[in-house]
């Protein structure tokens, strides 16, 4: 089987995000960039499927600038077989990203698409669902446990009411949640081996997808400064303070 894994380049989750001095966006110069944590879990799950005995080829795909090759090399170092970069210097929003991934999924005739449930830069949680709809194939979102067997995927999903177990026919799309697995640590020998693995670059414009943003960002601003707390002498004073704020 063929497994396509979406990989997005984002600011590392340990970095405190700062706005540019002119307020035109988020500062990325000199900032550590990494694989979106949810996508890293998707890569790990693809590897575990293969290690469980399923004969599978894993293809990592990213959309972005030439710098995104670094994150694809990380996916290759983890164990992906090859990678594809859909290169563009423009912003690619969720719907266009779904169309781009669909073009690769159809070209490669993949059996399974694994993506993170969301990216930590925009938290949109849209691309996977849009891809499944455009593809016309079943989807299982927010997956915290996954089993592949007999041409089907069983997904234990985290929903508002608790957990839900569903079964979908392959080909299918799965979006993964944090509790699905813990990604492996990449060792130096694997990083060196990844340099010899194939990484193809395709111009996003060659896909025939019009890069026309449907959403416009009009402004950036930092979150409000957290107000300092206040101390009270006793419980009656606490109750009185809460009443003044309308809490009680």
Cα–Cα nearest to 197, from 107, 80, 66: 80
pLDDT attached to residue 148: 95
Percent of the chain clearing pLDDT 90 (strictly above): 77
Task: Give yes or no for a cis peptide into 171 (omega within 30° of 0).
Answer: yes
pLDDT one-digit tens code per residue, 126-156: 999 999 999 999 999 999 999 999 999 999 9
pTM value is 0.86
Amino acid 136: pLDDT: 97
Concatenating the DSSP letter of every residue in 11-29 gives: E-TTSPP-B-TTSSSB--T
Q: Is 243 helix (H, G, I), strand (E, B) or coil?
A: helix
Range 198-205 average pLDDT: 95
Chain position carrying tokens 């669902």: 129
Between 241 and 104, residue with greater pLDDT: 104
- Rounded-to-integer distance, Cα 100 and Cα 28, Å: 24
Residues 78, 184 contacting (CB under 8 angstroms): yes
Q: What is the distance between the alpha carbons of residues 19 and 137, in angstroms, rounded to a whole number?
A: 39
Is 34 a residue whose pLDDT tops 90?
A: yes
Tokens standing for 118? 């969301």
CA distance 49 to 51: 5
- pLDDT at position 226, please? 85
**Structural domains of the chain, with CATH:** 2-216 (3.40.50.620)
pLDDT in tens, 92-104: 999 999 999 999 9
pLDDT digits (tens, 9 = 90+) for 160-176: 888 999 999 999 999 99
């Amino acid at each position: 089987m063929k497994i396509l894994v979406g990989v997005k380049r984002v600011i590392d989750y340990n970095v405190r995000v700062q706005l540019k001095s002119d307020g035109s966006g988020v500062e990325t110069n000199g900032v550590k960039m990494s694989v979106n944590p949810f996508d890293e879990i998707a890569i790990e799950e693809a590897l575990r499927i293969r290690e469980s005995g399923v004969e599978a080829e894993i293809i990592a795909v990213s959309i972005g600038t030439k710098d995104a090759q670094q994150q694809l090399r990380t996916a290759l170092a983890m164990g992906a077989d090859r990678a594809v970069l859909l290169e563009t210097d423009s912003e690619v929003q969720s719907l266009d990203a779904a169309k781009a991934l669909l073009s690769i999924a159809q070209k490669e005739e993949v059996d399974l698409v694994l993506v993170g449930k969301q990216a930590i830069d925009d938290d949109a949680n849209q691309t996977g669902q849009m891809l499944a709809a455009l593809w016309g194939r079943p989807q299982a979102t927010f997956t915290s446990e996954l089993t592949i067997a007999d041409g089907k995927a069983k997904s234990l999903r985290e929903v508002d009411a608790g957990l839900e177990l569903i079964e979908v026919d392959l080909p299918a799309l799965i979006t993964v949640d944090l509790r699905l697995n813990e990604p492996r640590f990449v060792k130096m020998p694997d990083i060196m081996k990844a340099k010899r693995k194939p990484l193809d670059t395709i111009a996003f414009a060659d896909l025939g997808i019009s890069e026309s943003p449907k959403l416009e960002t009009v402004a950036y601003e930092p979150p409000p400064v957290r107000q300092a707390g206040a101390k009270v002498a006793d419980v009656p004073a606490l109750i009185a303070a809460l009443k003044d704020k309308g809490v009680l």
